Structure 1
C-alpha cells in the first residue's frame, strides 16, 4: 500500500519552527510491513515558508499567531496533498497529530495556549473526503 506521510514525521525539517517531528521507527515499521511512503507537507505545498509563524484553526479559518489569516495557504496545501495522493495512488495517510493542517481527531483551539479540542486539520479533512484512511504518529501501528 502507498501511504502519504507528513514529511516532518520522517525527519524532514519543515515544521513551523524549522525543525522536524521525527518519529523514531515509524518509517522503518511501515516499510517493513510492505508499505511505500510518499512524504508531504501541506503547509509548505501551500506556499508557507520554513520556519513560519505558528498557526491554529479557528472554525473554518486558520490564523497565524501574529493575526494573519493563512486560510488560503492551508486550503491550497490541502488541495496539493490530495492531488499528490491521487497521482501516487495513496490510500492512507499518516499525519502529524494536532496540526492545523494534518491533525486528525484533535487540534489546538486557536488560543495558542496548548489547549486541544476535537477537530481535524484542513489537509486531514480534505484527504479523508478524498477517500483516504487517516492515521497519526500515535495510531499508525494499525497499518502494520
Structure 2
C-alpha cells in the first residue's frame, strides 16, 4: 500500500500554533484516511514546539531553502529564534516519510514548515509571498512530491500513477 504524508492539522488535530486545526473535508482525503493510507505529521510538534505556541514566520521574506542554507531564521512573534525546532521537525518528517516509503505529501499551505507555494513574509502582517516552508523544502530535496490542501486532486492523480504495476 502506498502511504501519503499529511499535515496533522488537515486531519482535524488541534496542533496549530493557536491550538486550532484546519480540517480538510475533501472526499479523497477522507477515503485515504478510511483506507489507512494516511500518515499524520506536524513538523512543529515533532521539533519540540508546544501547543499553543507563538506564531512563527521565516524572517526577511525568505523561504525554507534560505533556512537550510543558514541565511534566514524562523522567528516567532515574540522575537525568539525557533529555527532549531523547525529544522528538527523537518528532519523528523523526512525520517517518517522514509520509514513508510512515502513519495507524496499533502501539507498545510502558508505554514513556515509546510507551505508549498506560499508562506508569510516574516513581518507578521499577514503578507503572503511565493515560497515554501522548511519541511517542504527538505522533503522536495529528498525527491518527494509535496502538494497543498488545495491540490489533493493532483496528488491523487499522481498516486494512481505511482500505484500502477
Q: Which residue of 1 aligns with 2:50?
A: 49
CA contact (8 A) 2:87 2:135 kept: yes
CA deviation profile, 1:101-142 (whole Å, cap 9, x unmatched): 000111000011111011100000001111110001111111
| Alignment of structure 1 residues 112-123 onto 2, 5 Å | 112-123=124-135
* Deviation at residue 143 of structure 1 after TM alignment: 2.4
Q: Which residue of 2 aligns with 1:76?
A: 88
Q: Which runs of 4+ in 1 moved over 4 A?
A: none
* Deviation at residue 77 of structure 1 after TM alignment: 0.2
Residue aligned with 1:98, SS: coil
TM-score (norm 1): 0.94
Are 1:110 and 2:112 matched, yes or no? no
Residue aligned with 1:63, SS: strand
Question: Using the alignment, how far apart are the partners of 2:121 and 2:101 within structure 1?
Answer: 33
Which of 86, 94, 97 is the aligned partner of 2:106? 94
Q: Which residue of 2 aligns with 1:5?
A: 6
Structure number, greater radius of gyration: 2
* Deviation at residue 35 of structure 1 after TM alignment: 7.5
Instruction: Give ranges in structure 2 of 5+ residues lacking alignment.
Output: 63-71, 157-165
CA deviation profile, 1:27-61 (whole Å, cap 9, x unmatched): 314457x7711000000000000010000011321
Question: Using the alignment, how far apart are the partners of 2:153 and 2:31 within structure 1?
Answer: 8
Question: Using the alignment, how far apart are the partners of 1:31 and 1:52 within structure 2?
Answer: 27
Question: Using the alignment, how far apart are the partners of 1:89 and 1:42 within structure 2?
Answer: 18
CA contact (8 A) 1:102 1:121 kept: yes
* Higher normalized strand content (fraction of residues): 1
Aligned residues: 143
* Higher normalized helix content (fraction of residues): 2
Question: Using the alignment, how far apart are the partners of 2:97 and 2:47 within structure 1?
Answer: 15
